[in-house]
Amino acid sequence: MAAGEYHHGEMDIHDQQATWDGFLKFSVWGSLMLALMLGHAILTIPLGMHWAVSLGIMTLVGVIAGLVMNLGGRWFATVVLLLLLGLFVQFMIWLFAVMI
């Protein structure tokens, strides 16, 4: 392309914009999920809070963060799945303790 053929602002950047928006959404979701999991671990292990109370607090924090940041229904489904995963892990821990 010759230097005279370039016109500033005429390039189609929809693909680049979609990539950037996806990266930002992934970063926000990943950061929030990491914060919820670390928050649960910090409340239960070093602070000695009961696991169910900690799980409930982190679920509320996740729902409030989703409302404040307007993340939509997919975020709330993710928070519910994280809650169910936490309950499943605790059930497996209880089951293993019973079997010993």
What is the pLDDT averaged over residues 61-67? 96
Give the containing element (helix H, strand E) for 46.
none
For the chain, the average pLDDT equals: 91
Is 31:65 a contact under the CB 8 Å cutoff?
no
pLDDT reported for residue 10: 80
Helix ranges (H only) for the chain are 14-44, 51-68, 73-99
* Alpha-carbon span 86 to 51, nearest angstrom: 9
pLDDT tens column, 72-83: 999 999 999 999
pTM of the model: 0.78
| Domain layout of the chain by residue ranges | 28-99
Q: How many CB atoms lie within 10 A of CB 79?
A: 22
Residue 40's Cβ-count burial label (10 Å; 0-12, 13-18, 19+) is buried
